[in-house]
Amino acid sequence: MDMEDYPKTTIEFEQRFSTEEACQKYLAKIRWPEGFCCPRCGHRKAWITKRGLYRCKNCDYQASITSGTIFQGTRKPLQLWFHAMWYITSQKNGVSAMGLKQVLGLNRYETVWIWLHKLRRAMVRPDRDCLSGIVEIDETYIGGKKAGKRGRGAIGKSLILVAVEDKGEHFGRIRLHRITDASANSLMPAVQKSVKAGSLIRTDGWSGYTQLPSKGYKHIVARKNAEVGDNLLPLANRVVALLKKWLVGTHQGVVHSSHLDYYLDEFTFRFNRRNSRYRGKLFYRLIQQAVMIEPVIAKNIRGGKLG
């Protein structure tokens, strides 16, 4: 199996992951690309038990492929998880808990809802790279009915920093970060988390961005004497429009603020891979990231409303 081995079509997926063993093997390969390594003694050879545990041939330690991943402690077969991940990544615009419940044939809505949130969490790559080159930055409000004023928080709204790579003819990657307000104190850390120093950043004339050069960025301000309605930051505006459309379409626009960060991560995950030749590549990335992150405890997800 090479580094980027994934099913390219649904038929391939069905054929390949038709047994629990096949799912276990695939997961093990992604988790231990160099082969098994005993967490206790470092030995590299193991038996696979009937329950899918790896038993070290040297010290008998039993390692589970799922421990330390988001699948830890699951009582459902991996096959079901694989189906969930395939379904989520093969739908272009994201899925609802109801839709996933039907596809998987699960009875409890809450189980599906928790799975979705676990998987969304896995969409955030722990070590993701910063944007670079030419980057357009703007902010937008999500939620609430009235327009919010810049520079102050607005009740019922969340302010999001939107950063988009400008690749000339097309979009590059994006990053979205929730910020408390549009002051320089909030904007600068969010920019530094999203964009590599040395990059050229284009913003409007908002005072919150004047510190950019002192943080190691080149800064250009889109025309200061703009007319109302001028589209000075077209890339950022386009991403904001797509984000809002997606939130309405997939989540009916009802986004509990405690879950907004995950939705932003899901949107980013999908947007940055929108041109992948095969949806299977998203599936592969999702599994890869699912084994990298700490298990998510259900009670930490339940903070907000169901839905």
Quick check: 45 binds Zn ion (CB under 5 A)? no
Quick check: 276 binds Zn ion (CB under 5 A)? no
Q: Which is nearer to Zn ion, 56 or 97 (CB)?
A: 56
Among 41, 197, 226, 306, binds Zn ion (CB under 5 A): 41
Q: What is the amino acid identity at position 2?
A: D
224-243: contacts with Zn ion (CB under 5 A): none
Q: Report yes or no: 28 and 5 within 8 Å, Cβ to Cβ.
A: no
Quick check: 40 binds Zn ion (CB under 5 A)? yes
Quick check: 58 binds Zn ion (CB under 5 A)? yes
Map tokens 């004047």 to a residue.
Answer: 210
Among 23, 27, 28, 38, binds Zn ion (CB under 5 A): 38
Quick check: 56 binds Zn ion (CB under 5 A)? yes
Q: Which is nearer to Zn ion, 61 or 206 (CB)?
A: 61
Q: Which is nearer to Zn ion, 58 or 90 (CB)?
A: 58
CA–CA separation, 156 vs 147, rounded Å? 11
Number of residues forming the site for Zn ion (CB under 5 A):
8
Please choose, out of 26-34, 51-59, 113-121, 248-256, the segment that lies near Zn ion by the rule CB under 5 A. 51-59
Mention every residue, 6+ apart, whose C-beta is less than 8 A from residue 275.
Answer: none
Among 16, 25, 32, 61, binds Zn ion (CB under 5 A): 61
Can you list the pairs that 71-77 forms with residues at least 24 positions away whose Cβ atoms lie under 8 Å? 71/27, 71/290, 71/291, 71/295, 72/295, 73/295, 77/20, 77/23
Q: Which is nearer to Zn ion, 37 or 106 (CB)?
A: 37
Please choose, out of 54-62, 86-94, 100-108, 282-290, the segment that lies near Zn ion by the rule CB under 5 A. 54-62
Q: Which is nearer to Zn ion, 43 or 128 (CB)?
A: 43
What b-and-e string marks burial along 93-128, b requiring 16 or more CB atoms within 10 Å of the CB? Answer: ebbbbebbbebbebeeeebbbbbbbbbbbbbbbeeb
What b-and-e string marks burial along 259-278, b requiring 16 or more CB atoms within 10 Å of the CB? Answer: bbbbbbbbbbbbbbbeeeee
Helix (H, G, I), strand (E, B) or coil at 10: helix
Residues in the chain: 307
Quick check: 43 binds Zn ion (CB under 5 A)? yes
Judged by the rule CB under 5 A, the positions of this chain that interact with Zn ion are: 38, 40-41, 43, 56, 58-59, 61
